[in-house]
Amino acid sequence: MKPNITVTEVQSDDENNKRIVISGAENHDDARNAADEWCENHNSRILNFIQEDPYNVPQNTPQVYYAVISSK
């Protein structure tokens, strides 16, 4: 994972499906790779990968991505 990328697990009421937030990635591929690496290290798998709406983010601000994950 690139050093500028941060992956944060978000608490959820649903014990089976959790969410992680990926920030600091330069593009979709870097964010997806970081999420895949995080899941590999935490024995999880990605169920859904979402990019925050680019039209609601101020210009020149890094994109934020979300992944819904599940335990393997």
Domain boundaries, the chain: 6-71
First to last CA, the chain: 21
- pLDDT tens for the chain, 72 residues long, are 677 899 998 876 666 678 999 999 888 899 999 999 999 999 999 999 988 766 666 666 668 899 999 876
pTM of the model: 0.80
What lies within 8 Å, CB to CB, of 61 at 6+ separation is none
Q: How far apart are CA 68 and CA 58, in angstroms?
A: 24
Q: Within 13 Å, how many C-alpha atoms sit on residue 9's CB side?
A: 15
Report whether 44 contacts 67 (CB < 8 A): no
Which region, left, alpha or beta, applies to residue 29 given φ > 0 means left and ψ of -120 to 50 means alpha?
alpha
